Amino acid sequence: MLLLLLIVPMAASAATADDFYQRMYRRGMTHFAAAEYPAAFTELRNAAFGFVERLDTFEAAHAYAAVAAHRAGRDADARDSLMRITAAEKVEPHFASVTLPEDIRTEVYKVAARMLTREEATLIGVSQQQLAAAAAEKTLAVVPTPSKRPNVAVTAPRDRSGADATPPAPETAASKLDNAQRALEAGDVTAAQATYESLFAASPLAHADEVRLAEGLYRVHDYTKAARAFELAGPLGQGEEKYHYCYAVSLYETGHFKEAKRELAAAMPHIAVTEDVERYRAKIDSAK
């Protein structure tokens, strides 16, 4: 009898939680239908947390969340939802069977082709043709429009001594990292990621630059490269304690659980315990 009394409240609690996330999902879809995309993204992303054991609903929620964020001009949030889908696909390929309207699936693939790496985009079903179209679109976006003015030779201004003006100094790793940071803050994840990848190809950098690169790669969710950049940077010193958390998450997301626990322990005394930190701490602590 006592066992029955214990089971009934637990079942009721589970049902209550399920109802809560179902209501949140429905609110998100209502906002989406009304083109209230910022609210739709928030509701759908939060609802997805309640469906981690139900891949159909989890991936559908993040698909709509990604589209909502993209339409709201919040590409960093759109990429975050797409990365949640790719993470689920690595565990169990499923997205191809998720029921979505054709226009929504097409938009998800189009956004994914622009924002994810080729490997990540292919994982969720983006075709090679869609990837090629996205690459061509990026190329067209950076091609300068030819000037319609007549081709008139212009003499560069000289200083008072008559010497040629000093040419601009070459871009350093630090200045490129500054540009990538500004791109991220402006929501241009694609530009930031391109800069980080070019710098990663030039690694190893000076310690401080390598640490900043590792943090940037972490922020665009390229955890494999982020973990490698932290490794190349070497030991984190005084004043760099907060980066242990970025390293811990990157290690966890790439399956290096023991090392992630080590880095998390080093980070915790030096960072604020936010909702995201608490969630990752629970994941890392329970990882085996």
Higher pLDDT, 85 or 50: 85
> What tokens does 58 get?
């989890």
Judged against a pLDDT cut of 50, whether residue 231 lies above it is answered with: yes
Polymer length of the chain: 288
Mean pLDDT, residues 31-44 taken together:
89
pTM of the model: 0.47
What residue type is assigned to position 199 of the chain? L
Q: Do domains 17-141 and 176-286 have the same CATH topology?
A: yes
Q: Please tell me which residue, 8 or 33, carries the higher pLDDT value.
A: 33
**Domain 17-141 coded CATH 1.25.40:** yes
Q: Mention every residue, 6+ apart, whose C-beta is less than 8 A from residue 22.
A: 47, 50
Choice between 64 and 145, residue whose per-residue pLDDT is larger: 64
pLDDT at residue 13 is higher than 80: no
The residue ranges of every structural domain in the chain are 17-141, 176-286
What type of residue is 182? R
Taking CA atoms, 70 is separated from 187, 221, 235, 281, in Å, by 10, 17, 38, 29
Cα–chain-centroid distance for residue 118? Answer: 14
Average pLDDT along the chain: 82
Name the phi and psi angles at 166, rounded to 5.
Answer: -70, 130
Q: Up-side HSE of residue 11: CA atoms within 13 Å toward CB?
A: 6
DSSP class of residue 269?
G
Residue 60 to residues 50, 57, 175, Cα–Cα distance (Å)? 13, 5, 40
In the beta sheet, which residues pair with residue 164? 158
Tell me if the domain spanning 176-286 has CATH number 1.25.40.10: yes
Rounded Cα distance, 226 and 251, in Å: 9
Res. 157: pLDDT tops 90: no
Quote the CA–CA distance of 137 and 149 in Å, as a whole number: 26
Minimum mean pLDDT among 18-22, 86-90, 234-238: which range? 18-22
- pLDDT 10s digits, 71-110: 988 888 899 999 999 988 888 888 999 999 999 999 999 9
pLDDT at 284 over 90: yes
For residue 204, is the peptide bond before it cis, meaning its omega torsion is within 30 degrees of 0?
yes
